[in-house]
Structure 1
C-alpha cells in the first residue's frame, strides 16, 4: 500500500498518511502504525499542464485571494518555517520520503519543461488546480544535466511587480535554470511589520516599514528560508527579478552591496542586457540618485547570501552571488508579436550564465 503523506503543523501527529486505496479499517481510519510509517514515500504526481499554465493559474488565484491588505499570508513560526524549507528543498532534490512531511496543502508534482522533466512543489490539489491555504509560494527544480544552468531564479513580488512571475518562468524554462522560487502573496497582503531595516511606499499611505508578507524584506518568510537552504547547499548564483515605476533606465542592476565592480556576474549581465538594446543603470556607479534609488541594499536574501547572520538588520560582507534586477514596465512586458518585452533579459541570461 502506498500513501499520500503530509505534516500536521498544529496537531499532535507528526505525519498523517492517506491511503491511495480503501483501508481495511474503512476510509479515513488508518491505524497508528500506518500513520507513523517511517518508510512511506510520496512520489510526485504527474501533471500534463505546462509550467507556464501552472504559474498563470497560481497567480490568478493569488490575485483573487492574497492581494494587498487581504491578510491571507500565514506567518509561520521559525521552526515550522525551517522545517518546511528543509522538506521542500529535499523534495525538489528528489527525496520522496521528505515529500511526505510537506504541509497538507502542498504537494509535489512532475511535469515536462522543454527537454527535461522538472519537479514542482505548490499549493495545488491532486489534479493541479490552485488550493492555497498558507500562501507560502510555488517552487520548481530541474535536475543538473548537460545544458542546464546552475542558476536560481526568484520572483519575490509576484503581484506587485507586474509580469515578473511570467518573466521568471521564461528565464527558468528557456535558460534551463535549475531552481525557480516564486512568493505566494502580494508583498502588502498583511499589515504586520517585518521588523527589518528600511521603509517603502509600496503599500500606499506614505513611507512605512516593510510588511511581514514582503518576502524580499522579511526573514520570517518560508521564501527566505528556502533561499537560505539553497544558498548553503549549492554554489549557484541567484537572479532576483523586480519591477519599478521610478524614473530609472529600463534596467537598474546591482549585487545589493551598494558598490559596483566591473568584475563578476552582475557586470556581465548588465553588459549583456545593454547589448540587446535596453538602457541599463548600474548601482554603485551612477546610481542610486534622486528618482531612481532601488538598489537592494536592504534585501534580506542578498544580505544572507553575502554572509550576514542577521539579514533582517545587518548587511553582509561578501556580495556578488545575487543579482538584483529592477525593471521598468516596458522591460517586463510579455513578448507578443512586435513587443520584445522581457525577451532581451531572457536572452542576456542565456549568454551570461554558462551551461553545464
Structure 2
C-alpha cells in the first residue's frame, strides 16, 4: 500500500512541475447537421433576383445519367460535371444513411438539391419545386422524406421568379429538376409535390389535392379521406373546382401521366404551413395513405 501511495504522489508531483506536458486532448468531430438544417440553409439563400439559367440539352442528358448513376451507386462523376457537390451522410434525426447532391452555390447553375435515402430501395419521390416562395414547403418535404424509407427528396435550386420565372421548375420543361423527376417516374415511382397558397385565395379550404394530368387513383383518395378525418377542409380537384390550384399544367404531372405512374399535387394554406402541429398532421396523413401504391 505504501508503494502505491508513493507512486501516486510522484505522479502528482510530475504533473504539477513547471514545464510538465499535459495529456493531449482528442478533438471530437463536429456533429452531423440534420437534413432540416441543410435544406433550410440551402433554401434561405434563394431570391427572385438570383442568377439562374436553364441547363442546355447536353447538360440535361448529363443530369439524367448522373441521377441514374447515383441511384445505382455507380459514382457521382456526371453530377460533378454539372457543378454539384455529392457526399454521403447520416441524418441524426432518423439514423438513416443518405446521399446528397447540391448545386454549385452562388452561380447560374442553380439546379437543385437531391437527397436519396439509402436505408431502402427507392420508393417515393418528394418534390419541393418552389422553395423560398411557397414558404415552409421545404420543411414539409424534409418531414415527409424522413417518414418514408427509400424516399428521394427533390428541392429546386432557384426561386420560382428568378430569370423572369424561367426557374419555375413545375412549369418549365428545361430544368434539371424536371429531368430528375422524369427519370424517377420512368422507374415507376410515385411523385408527391408540395405547394402553398394564400389563405384568402381559398378561404374555406386548408388543403387542395389533385393528380395533375393523371387520373386520380387510390392514393389521392386515401390521402383526402385521412386529411378530412383529421379535421382539414379538403378540396378534391377530381370532384370539385379548386380555384386554379389543380396543377393541371404541372410538367411533373405530365411526365407521370406519360409513364402511367402516380402523382399527387398538394397545395396547403399559409395557416397550415405556419403551424408545426398541422404540418405534422398533414405528413402523418400522407404517410398513412401509402402514396407508394397509386
Q: In structure 2, which of residues 258, 266, 288 is the aligned counterpart of residue 307 of structure 1?
A: 258
Pairing 1:52-67 to 2, within 5 Å after superposition = 52-62=36-46, 67=47
> Hey, what does 2:11 align to over in structure 1?
none
1:283-307 superposed Cα distances (whole Å, 9 cap, x missing partner): 031223xxx2210110011011101
Matched, 1:169 2:142: yes
* Stretches of structure 2 lacking an aligned partner (at least 5 in a row): 1-29
| Residues 102 and 287 of structure 1: CA distance in aligned 2, closer, same or farther (over 3 Å) | same
> Hey, what does 2:74 align to over in structure 1?
95
* Stretches of structure 1 lacking an aligned partner (at least 5 in a row): 1-45, 125-129, 192-210, 309-317
Q: For 2:169, what is the secondary structure of its paired residue?
A: coil
Q: In structure 2, which of residues 183, 188, 193 is the aligned counterpart of residue 240 of structure 1?
A: 193
> Hey, what does 1:180 align to over in structure 2?
153
Q: What TM-score comes out, normalization by structure 2 length?
A: 0.80
CA distance in 1, matches of 2:189, 2:82: 30
Q: For 1:56, what is the secondary structure of its paired residue?
A: helix
Pairing 1:1-356 to 2, within 5 Å after superposition = 48-62=32-46, 67-68=47-48, 70-96=49-75, 98-99=76-77, 102-103=80-81, 105-113=83-91, 114-123=94-103, 132-143=107-118, 145=120, 150-191=123-164, 211-232=165-186, 234-245=187-198, 246-248=201-203, 249-257=205-213, 261=216, 263-288=217-242, 292-307=243-258, 318=260, 321-335=262-276, 340-353=277-290
Detail structure 1 runs of 4+ shifted over 4 Å in the superposition.
130-133
1:240-282 superposed Cα distances (whole Å, 9 cap, x missing partner): 00001111510000101387x5x42111111111112211010
Is the contact between residue 98 and residue 119 of structure 2 (CA under 8 Å) also seen in structure 1? Answer: no
| Residues 150 and 355 of structure 1: CA distance in aligned 2, closer, same or farther (over 3 Å) | same
Q: For 2:278, what is the secondary structure of its paired residue?
A: coil
Is the contact between residue 294 and residue 326 of structure 1 (CA under 8 Å) also seen in structure 2? Answer: yes
CA distance in 1, matches of 2:134, 2:267: 9
CA distance in 1, matches of 2:291, 2:130: 27
Is the contact between residue 139 and residue 181 of structure 1 (CA under 8 Å) also seen in structure 2? Answer: yes
CA distance in 2, matches of 1:103, 1:51: 24
| Residues 101 and 226 of structure 1: CA distance in aligned 2, closer, same or farther (over 3 Å) | closer
Is the contact between residue 99 and residue 108 of structure 1 (CA under 8 Å) also seen in structure 2? Answer: no
| Residues 276 and 59 of structure 1: CA distance in aligned 2, closer, same or farther (over 3 Å) | same
- 1:179 deviates by 0.4
Q: For 1:307, what is the secondary structure of its paired residue?
A: helix
Aligned length: 259
CA distance in 1, matches of 2:188, 2:78: 27
- 1:144 deviates by 5.4
Is the contact between residue 227 and residue 301 of structure 1 (CA under 8 Å) also seen in structure 2? Answer: yes
Q: What TM-score comes out, normalization by structure 1 length?
A: 0.67
Q: For 1:238, what is the secondary structure of its paired residue?
A: strand
- 1:353 deviates by 1.2
Alignment root-mean-square deviation, CA: 2.5
Comparing both structures, which one devotes a greater share of its residues to helix?
Answer: 2
1:40-97 superposed Cα distances (whole Å, 9 cap, x missing partner): xxxxxx98221111101101122xxxx11x151121111212212321342243222x
